Structure 1
Amino acid sequence: MTPSSVPRRAMLRGLAGAGAGAALVSVSGGLLVPAHAAEAADGAGPAAGTPGDFPASLNGWPLADRTNAGLGVWSRPVSGAGFTLDIRLGMVETVLVHIVRRWHYEIETLRKGEVVGWRPIGELDAAAPESNQASGTAVAIRPDAYVKGVRGGLTKIQRDTVESILEDVGDVVRWGGHDRTPYEALFYIATPPSQETRPADRPVAELADKLRGWNQTPGLGAGSAA
């Protein structure tokens, strides 16, 4: 069996385990991958350097096979909601927590266990947007209520609020309800980490800065209209 014939899901699972605790480095295109993967990308072979071979979720962000272990994904409080969320630290955290808080204040009150951030790649479809949870760059809000493959779980008012939330985040975040296979619980970062290495175009960082400014300004930010 050649490297290129290995199913992508199996490769992702293997790399997720092999990448545990490994240092992340930047390779071609600015993609952040464990050092051992970068070495493979520099070597010979038909599969070397192809994006699908890196230990990343569908949106290109590096996988973590556990939380709170120096892999970038940590349990973080959701201000005003009373629970924590396993999420990628920093700018991704700011963006996704904003979405969760707006849902909490404007759509329905959320409780501990009803919002799921990071999950191990082995529990997910590695070829689907839900794989982004394994890199800490996606959240599923009440996934038992808004199940994958089912459309129409939200009322018109709730859907209008979701569209308002999406206006806040622009193209940086995609809602699973807009995907071909709908998953109305899912929100995920839609831009790859390679874009964050360009000084003139850092969409996630710029959005996070905007949201932090809202949070510090009376009358703006999540919950201001509650």
Structure 2
Amino acid sequence: MKRGELTRRRVVGVTAGVAGTAALGPLPAAGQAAAAEGSGAAGSRTRDRTGNGWPVLEEAESFGVEGSGQEVRLAGGDAAVVLLHVARRFHYEIGTLRDGDVHGWARERRVSADYESNYLSGTAIAVRPLSYPVGPVNGLYPNELVVVRDILAELDGVVAWGGDFTPAKESHFENAVRPGHPRLKGAARKIGGRRQGPGDEGAGATDAFDPARRAFARCSA
């Protein structure tokens, strides 16, 4: 696929995203449906838990995305650690995050796809949601997709990507395990260990294109 074709697709995606935002009011930061269910039903959520099993929050804490100067509101603890790692790697390895590029928790219960309910619990983020709204696919360049797949493999299935959902939303990343799951704790511990190790082995120091890492990511996909 030619670079120009992807650029045009992104322009269409931005237009669709702006139109969707106008129709729904403020940009929703509201939710996820389980990818395995393939549910894309839109509507309002009234339950006290979101699609991934996390409790709906009335408020959420604000966290900084390292290196970007941007902040995002999320559930605390390990849930925030893994999602902030996703945003951090996106910033360092795919593209600089600017104002309005990253969205997390929101109060708005009306969603375009059921999996967006996870924003209500602060357990999902949307990175550049106007560029990658619900519906359009293949918006990422091949090298960007390599990084996304590497992030997902690194986190051992703890985070799921909206590009694998139906309908797709390539800006969407969510906690895919329930509160207290041992894999969530393990992923958060691994992230903490790398960042505290010699020379900081986290985002920015990771080579997603290393042949061994690419092979592992392909096996994990």
Establish whether TM, by shorter chain, passes 0.5. yes
> What are the within-5 Å matches in structure 2 for residues 99-118 of structure 1?
99-118=86-105
Structure 1 residue aligned with 2:50: 57
Report the Cα distance in structure 2 between the residues aligned to 1:129 and 1:170, rounded to whole angstroms: 20
Structure 2 residue aligned with 1:157: 143
Tell me which amino acid in the other structure corresponds to 1:205.
K
Residue among 199, 202, 205 paired with 1:221: 202
Corresponding position: 1:86 with 2:73? yes
Larger Rg: 1
**Helix, strand or coil: the match of 1:170?**
coil
* 1:99 positional shift: 0.3
Report the Cα distance in structure 2 between the residues aligned to 1:56 and 1:116, rounded to whole angstroms: 19
Residue among 166, 176, 192 paired with 1:180: 166
Report the Cα distance in structure 1 between the residues aligned to 2:107 and 2:200, rounded to whole angstroms: 38
The TM-score with structure 1 as length reference comes to 0.68
Structure 2 residue aligned with 1:75: 62
Report the Cα distance in structure 2 between the residues aligned to 1:101 and 1:123, rounded to whole angstroms: 28
**Helix, strand or coil: the match of 1:206?**
helix
Identity of paired residues, percent? 36
Q: Which ranges of 4 or more aligned residues in structure 1 deviate by more than 2 Å? A: none
Structure 1 residue aligned with 2:131: 145
- Higher RCO structure, 1 or 2 (CA under 8 Å, sep 6+): 2
* 1:144 positional shift: 0.2
* 1:180 positional shift: 2.1
Report the Cα distance in structure 2 between the residues aligned to 1:130 and 1:121, rounded to whole angstroms: 10
Report the Cα distance in structure 2 between the residues aligned to 1:185 and 1:224, rounded to whole angstroms: 23
Structure 1 residue aligned with 2:191: 211
Tell me which amino acid in the other structure corresponds to 2:96.
T
* 1:9 positional shift: 5.8
Corresponding position: 1:130 with 2:111? no
* 1:225 positional shift: 4.4
Runs of at least 5 residues in structure 2 that lack an aligned partner in the other structure: 1-41, 208-221
- Is residue 43–residue 114 contact of structure 2 (8 Å, CA) maintained in 1? no
Tell me which amino acid in the other structure corresponds to 2:183.
P
Equivalences, count: 165
